[in-house]
Amino acid sequence: MSATVLTASALLLDMDGTLVNSDAVVERCWRRWALKHGLDPEAALKVVHGRQGYATMAVLLPDRPVEENYADNRVMLAEETADVDGVVPIGGAPAFMAAIADLPHALVTSADSALATARMGAAALPMPAVRVTAEQVGASKPDPEGFLKGAAELGFGAADCVVFEDSEAGIAAGRAAGMRVVGVGPRAAALSPDAHVEDLTQIRVEAAEDGTIRLHIDEA
């Protein structure tokens, strides 16, 4: 392993795959949806992570009217919110959230508020006071809107923020926002984030005297 230190004023955290392992639910719901629409479930699962549901549907069914994607997305969100079987914290997430509790941070997720609340609750993780959910953005990741809104709400510029993400869409959004990115988990490994960890046990958080946050990262 090699050690990396990143300094930031604020942290912007994705949820699924970054703080919460919800892969079991995501795969159950999207496999059902793919089969219903005559799609290969394995191919579908390669593009679902990180995006809002309607955006995934637009990739998989590019000729379908967007209204149908929005309607299906509402059904998908309800199914995912009701199903928390197998939802658990990512390794090290409880200690990491405790370490940043008094530091500037925000949740920036493609989930809506109800789904975010359900999954953070199922994983027994504290919900950040500042959060940007699906209802608050006009464009899904990989668009940077969510991360830019999170930074603005915390009162910091993009260059002062570090993003934690697991997916291709999320890492692309962080980069497009002009932020540094810590990739978390296997999906992030091949996407050349600024630093990569298998889980959050590899990160130590230090609050510096000048108010900045120092992230000591033991890279995978």
CA 85 – CA 102 distance, rounded (Å): 30
pLDDT digits (tens, 9 = 90+) for 93-114: 999 999 999 999 999 999 999 9
- Two tokens, residue 29: 């719901």
CA 150 – CA 65 distance, rounded (Å): 30
- Two tokens, residue 119: 């999954």
In sequence order, what are the residues at sequence separation of 6 or more whose Cβ sits closer than 8 angstroms to the Cβ of residue 133?
107, 109, 111, 112, 113, 116
Model-level pTM greater than 0.85?
yes
pLDDT digits (tens, 9 = 90+) for 149-202: 999 999 999 999 999 999 999 999 999 999 999 999 999 999 999 999 999 999
Which run of H or E residues covers position 60? Answer: helix 53-60
Q: Which residue has the tokens 């809002």?
A: 52
What DSSP string describes 106-138?
Answer: EEE-SS-HHHHHHHHHHTT-PPPSSEE-GGG-S
Asked if 17 contacts 197 with a C-beta cutoff of 8 angstroms, the reply is no
The pLDDT confidence band at residue 49, using thresholds 50, 70 and 90, is confident
CA 104 – CA 21 distance, rounded (Å): 23
| Strand duo 161-165 + 180-184: pairing | parallel
DSSP code of residue 16:
B
DSSP code of residue 90:
P
Asked if 43 contacts 62 with a C-beta cutoff of 8 angstroms, the reply is no
Whole-number mean pLDDT of the chain? 95
